[in-house]
């Protein structure tokens, strides 16, 4: 089974749904993961979500049917950022 990855971007000031900014399988997925690690971007694993995200066009907003799963990712991210900041204090 090939490695899969997708990267999302969310700008709360636009009030728009998050966008897929990178997605792919195999070597492309490995490069996406490598870039995320280089920039200390936390990685979240959800096989069903990534399968849906890699089917979307780059720069496409996520469809409403994926909102719940993506909200879970952003909640997880916010909790981890808060913990990280607390550890740095």
Q: pTM of the entire structure?
A: 0.85
For 36-47, how does the pLDDT look when each residue is reduced to its tens digit (9 = 90+)?
Answer: 999 988 899 999
Q: How many helices (H) and strands (E) does the chain have?
A: 3, 2
Residue the block writes with tokens 């879970």: 72
pLDDT at 80: 84
> What are the residue ranges in the chain where pLDDT is below 70?
none
Which residue segments constitute the domains of the chain, with CATH numbers given?
A: 4-88 (3.40.1690.10)
Residue the block writes with tokens 């069903």: 48
The span from the CA of 63 to the CA of 60, in Å, is 9
pLDDT at 40: 86
């Amino acid at each position: 089974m090939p490695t899969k990855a997708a990267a999302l971007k969310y700008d709360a000031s636009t009030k728009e749904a998050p966008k897929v900014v990178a997605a792919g399988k195999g070597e492309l997925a490995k490069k996406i993961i490598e870039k995320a690690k280089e920039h200390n971007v936390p990685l979240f694993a959800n096989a069903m979500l990534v399968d849906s995200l890699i089917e979307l066009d780059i720069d496409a907003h996520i469809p409403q049917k994926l909102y719940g799963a993506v909200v879970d990712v952003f909640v997880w991210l916010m909790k981890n950022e808060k913990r990280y900041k607390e550890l740095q204090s």
